Structure 1
Amino acid sequence: MSRTYDEVAVGEELPELPIPLTRTMIVATAIASRDYQDVHHDPALAGERGSQDVFMNILTTNGLVDRYVTSWAGPAAEVKAIRIRLGAPNYPGDTMVLTGTVSAKHDEDRRVEIAVRGVNAIGPHVTGTVVVRLPVVQEQGETE
């Protein structure tokens, strides 16, 4: 079921989403996104480059942020923009918890801005904003 523009309020909090960070997930998603940088799949080479282990790539983080917001907004939502900044690395064995808050609404085109944050044991991994366009309810319960 999709959220509609009228039922969303500025200040509304999205439910938390904990994401277990497994080595398999980090390596598989880097390879799936064609990011073959060794720091995302080879622990020894990641260590040589100053990292404590392999770490998640930005494409995976971007996809997880998209999934988080669209799971809340529903299938009729249109993602208009995702703007993120990375901080602390996501390492295997940790958990990243995504949270979000509706930070703005734009009546002229039904855009909703969601401030998103993903935190792991080290600190904030990702912060940013996702902009979605939500449908409105039409007569007899149909959405547009």
Structure 2
Amino acid sequence: MAQLTEDQEKKLKLLFDNFDEDKSGSLNARELRKLAQLFDLNLTEQQVAAALDARDIDRDGVLDFDELKTIFAAFIRSTEDNQSEMIKAFETLLKKAGLGEDEPLTKKTLFKIQKGKGEDPMTKEDVAWLFSEFGRETTSKEELAALFCC
């Protein structure tokens, strides 16, 4: 299985800590579904339960950070392919928002795109945290992809 780079692991840990709303050190089904929505994956309760069942090594009903790492590591085949797929996913988001290919993505636009997605959509605070990683009010699809995969 592919391994996460040190940088990828740090970025995933930031996401994990942010989405671990109850600061339990693990992600429950609700928190995992919210994290998936960031990647435009609107999982049903059954899909989240299946993901938990498949990767919950200690069978405690939640994912700790090491268990979440196995999910992300399973998706990594090569940095280039992974980033390309992430860019395509963000291009889809940008098109849904009516933005041009090279137009920057703002906090307001990302919140608008994510608002109403799934049962527990991203909040303004979630979007603000994400943009705080860039240190500015806009970002590109390449920067978003790099935050998550490379």
TM-score interval w.r.t. the shorter chain?
Answer: under 0.3
The structure with the larger Rg is 1
- What TM-score does the superposition give when structure 2 sets the normalisation length? 0.25
Instruction: Give the number of the structure whose residues are more often helix, by fraction.
Output: 2
Instruction: Give the number of the structure whose residues are more often strand, by fraction.
Output: 1
- What TM-score does the superposition give when structure 1 sets the normalisation length? 0.26
